[in-house]
């Protein structure tokens, strides 16, 4: 039996009232597949929390004011809090393949747990809690744009993001990953 995967990646410019380009939008829609070594848009490493076939949409909107990232999921584990962040590398067959969190100002010490670098203004944090159907989502707006080629995926983690010294930015095990060609 073959499984049809719906993947859409689109970019469009939105005209501003002054005649210039005010914003860019990028949308990635996919379903999570098993991380079996194949090349997939979205992979799950935990089929209980993020089942094969559950849905994900990531939207990036850039404008003069910065960047807005929206994450939406459907059909994942119900009534649960998850952490999620933009990461520097694409998804792979192992959870660590996606590299560290993308940081606007890079912490010279990686993995970063220093709250001066690992915070919601310097990284994209998309923590969310699902409803009874397993649907949920989050939005993060930052006052900067991604550096070309340095933001490659969104990773969903086991719990909400910690903020304290020595643990800032941590959110537990990497449960799933979606490749996003951030601009």
Cβ proximity of 149 and 90 under 8 Å? no
Residue 16's pLDDT band (boundaries 50, 70, 90)? very low
For the stretch 27-76, pLDDT in tens is 999 999 999 888 899 999 999 999 999 999 999 999 999 999 999 999 99
Q: What is 8-138+151-179's CATH number, 2.60.40.200, 3.30.420.40, 3.40.50.150, 3.40.1280.10?
A: 2.60.40.200
State the pairing for strand pair 128-129/55-63: unpaired
Per-residue pLDDT at 2: 29
Is the per-residue pLDDT at 7 higher than 90? no
Tell me the mean pLDDT in the region 119-124.
98
Closest CA to 104 of 120, 90, 89: 120
**CA distance to 15, 104, 105, 148, 156, per residue, from 88 (Å):** 30, 11, 13, 11, 14
What is this structure's pTM?
0.89
Q: What would the 3-class secondary structure string for the chain be? A: CCCCCCCEEEEEEEECCCCCEEEEEEEEEEECEECCCCCCCEEECCCCCCCCCCEEEEEEEEECCEEEEEEEEECCCCCCEEEEEEECCCCCCCHHHHCCECCCCCCCCCCCCCCCCCCCCCCCECCEECCCCCCEEEEEEECCCCCCCCCCEEEEECCCCCCCCCCCCCCCCEEEEEECCCC
Tell me the mean pLDDT in the region 100-106.
98
Is the per-residue pLDDT at 19 higher than 60? no
Cβ proximity of 171 and 86 under 8 Å? no
Spatial separation of the C-alpha atoms in residues 166 and 136, rounded to whole Å: 29
């Amino acid at each position: 039996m073959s499984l049809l995967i719906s993947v859409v990646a689109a970019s469009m410019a939105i005209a501003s009232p002054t005649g210039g380009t005010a914003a860019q939008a990028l949308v990635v829609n996919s379903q999570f597949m098993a991380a079996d070594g194949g090349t997939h848009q979205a992979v799950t490493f935990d089929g209980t929390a993020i089942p094969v076939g559950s849905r994900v949409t990531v939207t990036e909107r850039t404008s003069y004011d910065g960047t807005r990232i929206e994450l939406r999921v459907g059909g994942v584990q119900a009534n649960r809090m998850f952490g999620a962040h933009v990461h520097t590398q694409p998804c792979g067959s192992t959870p660590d393949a996606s590299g560290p969190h993308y940081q606007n100002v890079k912490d010279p010490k990686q993995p970063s747990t220093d709250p001066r670098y690992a915070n919601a203004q310097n990284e994209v944090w998309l923590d969310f809690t699902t409803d009874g159907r397993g649907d949920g989502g989050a939005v993060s707006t930052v006052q900067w744009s991604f550096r070309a080629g340095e933001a490659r995926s969104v990773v969903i983690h086991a719990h909400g993001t910690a903020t304290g010294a020595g643990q800032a930015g941590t959110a537990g095990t990497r449960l799933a990953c979606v490749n996003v060609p951030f601009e």
